[in-house]
Chain A
């Protein structure tokens, strides 16, 4: 056993020192609530398979104020996910060259957000169609 104790720079709260890293950590942390929402839906499917009374209990739990409050937090989380996903997309996708010029990051982000808006509107209209 060596007695050497080399200095190690403390890394506690490293990401709080720079706004860029704060945004990075918030973006990455959205994954926790994405998993939480998938779990809510997973339980819904399990309850559905268990029969009507089990499913109705799950549905009733969704109506509790705690659940609605939680889903408002989830909504904010998912909106941030959408926003950050398309902010990062220009860096994660292959470079697109159009008419000899590189497609600008802002164009890619805007196209992604537009696609999300169209898909969301489509989903709501489809749901309204089923509902009526």
Chain B
């Protein structure tokens, strides 16, 4: 019997879900509210030189990649499995589109992060 590929997608969904549950709200607050408004945190926290340094450090690179890729896999897996609930017909095509978009985002983020250098 051919092995199912479901556990791979399910693991990515779970990992992204846990990461989003643990730090998602705080991350949104920092990048989307606190820093842009200069609330609690300084406005220049995400300035170009600082973010460049962050993204060139291996730990910062890993963090950015993990957040972007895992959030995408988590979200697209969940969307795929709920298309039916929203009355949308699903099949191989929908699966390819959903996981394909997650894969595309993962590849683009990996490319951009590697292009930034170390």
**C-alpha gap A117/B79 in the complex (Å):** 27
Chain B proximity mask over A63-101: 1 for CB below 8 Å, otherwise 0: 100011011101100110110011000000000000000
Given A56-B48, A71-B33, A81-B20: A46 touches B26 (CB 8 Å cut-off): no
Chain B binding site: helix, strand, loop or mixed by DSSP?
helix
- Contact of B23 with A120 in the complex, beta carbons under 8 Å: yes
In the complex, whether B52 has a CB less than 8 A from a CB of chain A is yes
- Contact of B112 with A45 in the complex, beta carbons under 8 Å: yes
Residue with the highest number of chain A CB atoms closer than 10 Å, among B46, B108, B116: B46
| Number of B residues, CB within 8 Å of A | 53
Q: List 28 A-B contacts (CB under 8 A).
A: A34-B16, A34-B74, A34-B78, A35-B79, A37-B27, A37-B71, A38-B67, A38-B75, A39-B105, A41-B67, A42-B105, A44-B31, A48-B52, A48-B55, A59-B48, A68-B37, A71-B32, A71-B36, A75-B33, A78-B20, A78-B25, A78-B28, A81-B21, A115-B22, A116-B22, A123-B23, A124-B40, A131-B45
Residues of B within 8 A of A (CB): 16-18, 20-33, 35-37, 40-42, 45-48, 50-52, 55, 64, 67-68, 71-72, 74-79, 81-82, 85, 87, 105, 108-109, 112-113, 115-116
